[in-house]
Chains A and B, each alone.
Chain A
Amino acid sequence: MSVSQKDKEALIDSLLEASRKAIRLKLALKFQGKDAEAETVSDKKDALSDEIDRLIAGQMRAWNTSAAGHLATIGSANKKLQRAIREVKSAINTAQAVVKAIGYLDEAIAVAAEVAKKIAAA
C-alpha cells in the first residue's frame, strides 16, 4: 500500500515534534549534569534528524517530478496567448492595409484618368 503525500507530511510533522521533545530532554539532562545520558539522547536525536532530512528530501523529489506537468500546462496557455496577441495585431494590420489600399485605389484612378485624357487628346 502506497503512502499518500498527506500521510508523509503528517509523519514528518510527528518526527519534528519528537525531535523537539528530544532537544528539551537533552537540555534537561545537561542542566542536571547527566552528560552521558544527554549524549545518548543527542545521538538518537541526530539519527532522527537524518531521517527527517531524508523524508523532506523525498517529498521535494516527488514534488519536482510532478512540476513538469504543471509547467507544460502553463506553457501551453502561454503559447495560446502569444498566438491570440499575434492574431489581434494582425487583424489591426489588415484593417490598416484596407484603408491604405483604398488610398492606392485613389492613386490608380488618378493615373487612369490621366491616361484617358491623353488618349482622348491623341
Chain B
Amino acid sequence: LCALALLLALVASGCASVDPKPFATFSESLQELRKGSDAVLSLNEEQNRARFLDKAVRKTGPGGDADFVGNLMMDRDRSFGWTMKEPPLFLESSRFRAAVRMINEALVSYAGLLADLAAPDLVDPEQFDRMAKDLNGNLASAGRRLGLEGHESELALFSLAASKAAHAAIESKRQGHLKDVLKETQPGIDSVAQALQAAMRIAAQNLEQNYLEGFDATAEQIPGASAAKRRTSIDQLLRENELYSDRLQALATLDHAYANLPVAHRELLEAIRKPGLDMTTVEDLYESGKHLYSLYEEMLAAQPKP
C-alpha cells in the first residue's frame, strides 16, 4: 500500500500540463497576419492592373506599339501551365500575392496544429479520472468474483495510480512531440520569416511605385487648371497621401510581426520548459495582429468606391 502511495505521489508530481494559452495566442496572431498581408497585396494588385490598362490605352493608339499587345499572348507549357514572354507586373503581382497567401496559410495551419497538440481537451485530466473510476469498478468486481475481497482500498489506489501513470506517460509523449517539432522547425521558421520580410519590402516598393504614378497623374492636372479643378486635384492628392500612409503603416506592422515570428516561436518552446514564463514576444505578435486588423478595417473604409 505504501509503495502504491509513493508511486502515486511520484507520478502526480511529474505530469504538469502544457499551458495552452501561448499556443492559442500564436495561432490567432498568424490568422491576423495572413488577413493583413493579403489585404495590402490585393490593393497593390488592383492598382497594378488599373495602371497597366491606362498604360495599354496610351501605348496602343494610332501608330502605337504592336509588341505591347503581342507580348500579352500566352503560351501553354507541357505541365498545363502557361508562360508569357514578359509577364506584366500585374500578373506577377497576382502570382506573388498567391504565393505569399499560400505560405501564410501553411503557417496558420502549422500554428493551429500546434495549438491542437497543446490543447487541454486532447489530454483531458477528467478523462483519466473517469478511467480510474471505471478501472476501479471493473477490478473490484473481478476481484469479488475471484474471491479476493477485503482489498478494496488497495485496488482503488492501484486504479488511481494506473490512470495517473497513463496520464503522465501520455502528457509526456505530447510534450515530447511538441518540443521535437518546435526545435526541428525553428530553422525553417527563421528562413520563412526572413522571406516574408523580404516580400513586404517588395510590396512596399510596388506600393511606392503605384503611389508615385497616381500622384503624377493627379498633379499634372493642376498647372493651368481653374481654381475649382485645382482644389479637387489637391484634395485628391491629400487623400492619396492618407491611403499611402495607411498602407505603409500596415506593411511596417507586418515587417515588425514577421521579424518577431521566430522569437515568438522560440518562446513557445520555453513555455513548455518553464511554465509561467512571460511570453512577451507572443503577446507582441498578437498586438501586431490586432493593430493590423484595425488598419485593415480603415483601409477598406478609405478605399475609393468604384
Contacts and interface: CB of A to CB of B under 8 A. Distances in A.
A85 interface: yes
Interface residues of A, number: 56
Contact of B103 (A31, A60, A71, A77): A71
A23 B219 contact: yes
Contacts, number: 175
Contact of A81 (B110, B141, B169): B110
Interface string B87-115: 11100110110011011001101100110
Report the interface size class on chain B.
35 or more
Interface in A23-78: 23, 26-27, 30-31, 42, 45, 49-50, 52-54, 56-57, 59-61, 63-64, 66-67, 70-71, 73-75, 77-78
Nearest to A5: B198
A56 B202 contact: yes
A92 B206 CA distance: 52
Interface stretch (B7-15, B131-139, B246-254, B266-274): B131-139
Given A23-B215, A53-B209, A99 B113 contact: no
Interface stretch (B32-40, B73-81, B187-195): B187-195
Contacts of A12: 205
B201 interface: yes
Contacts of A30: 220, 223-224
Interface string B122-145: 110001100100110111011001
Nearest to A113: B145
B50 interface: no
A105 interface: yes
Classify the interface of chain A: helix, strand, loop or mixed. helix
A115 interface: no
B106 A60 contact: no
B88 A92 contact: no
Given A63-B202, A88-B174, A16 B146 contact: no
Contact of B138 (A66, A88, A99, A113): A99
Interface stretch (B177-185, B276-284, B288-296, B298-306): B177-185
Nearest to B58: A46
B219 A27 contact: yes
B199 A63 contact: yes
Given A77-B110, A78-B106, A70 B212 contact: no
B229 interface: no
Given A49-B213, A70-B191, A92-B170, A102 B135 contact: yes
A70 to B, nearest CB: 5
A56 B209 contact: yes
A64 B95 contact: yes
A98 to B, nearest CB: 8
Given A59-B202, A63-B199, A49 B116 contact: no
Contact of A61 (B92, B146, B184, B198): B92
Given A81-B113, A96-B131, A89 B201 contact: no
Given A71-B103, A81-B113, A81-B114, A106 B142 contact: yes
A67 B122 contact: no
B142 A95 contact: no
A44 B142 CA distance: 94
Contacts of A63: 96, 99, 195, 198-199, 202
16 contacts: A9-B202, A56-B209, A57-B92, A57-B93, A60-B95, A61-B87, A61-B95, A63-B198, A66-B195, A70-B192, A74-B185, A74-B192, A89-B122, A91-B170, A99-B131, A102-B138
Given A74-B103, A109-B142, 20 more contacts: A16-B212, A31-B223, A49-B212, A50-B55, A56-B92, A57-B88, A63-B99, A70-B106, A70-B191, A70-B195, A73-B185, A74-B109, A87-B177, A88-B122, A99-B131, A102-B142, A103-B137, A105-B142, A106-B138, A106-B142
